[in-house]
Every structure is written in structure tokens, then in C-alpha cells.
């Protein structure tokens, strides 16, 4: 296989893939709306507010 030309940003040898899995923030956003910003951030950090599968 030929080495990729580092000046060719679209060369096949430089191609990378990333899969992103996420959940819509609706339920957490609705619950956080009733809290102050700091309380909401603490609840998210503590795992109290989180999306469940």
C-alpha cells in the first residue's frame, strides 16, 4: 500500500471514523429546568439526572 501524502487531507490513508451514540436531552432538560443551574450541574455530575436506556 502506498503511503498517504500528508498534504492531501482527503487521502484514503488518512481517513478516520468515529461513531457517536447519544440520547436526546429532553428528559434531563425538563427535570433540570425546575432547578438552579448549579443544582442541575451537581445533579448531573452526581448521576441523579441522567438519560436512562
CA distance 43 to 38: 9
pLDDT for the residue 8? 81
Structural contact between residues 43 and 35, judged by C-beta atoms closer than 8 angstroms: yes
pLDDT of 1 strictly over 60: no
Return d(Cα 41, Cα 28) in angstroms, integer: 11
Count the Cβ atoms, other than its own, within 10 Å of residue 34.
Answer: 8
Model pTM score: 0.49
- 3-class state of residue 3 by DSSP: coil
* pLDDT tens figures, 6-52: 678 788 877 788 898 877 888 888 999 999 999 999 998 998 887 66
Amino acid at each position: 500500500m502506498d503511503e498517504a501524502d500528508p498534504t492531501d487531507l482527503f487521502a484514503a490513508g488518512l481517513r478516520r471514523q468515529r461513531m457517536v451514540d447519544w440520547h436526546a436531552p429532553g428528559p434531563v432538560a425538563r427535570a433540570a429546568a425546575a432547578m438552579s443551574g448549579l443544582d442541575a450541574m451537581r445533579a448531573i455530575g452526581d448521576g441523579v439526572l441522567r438519560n436512562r436506556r
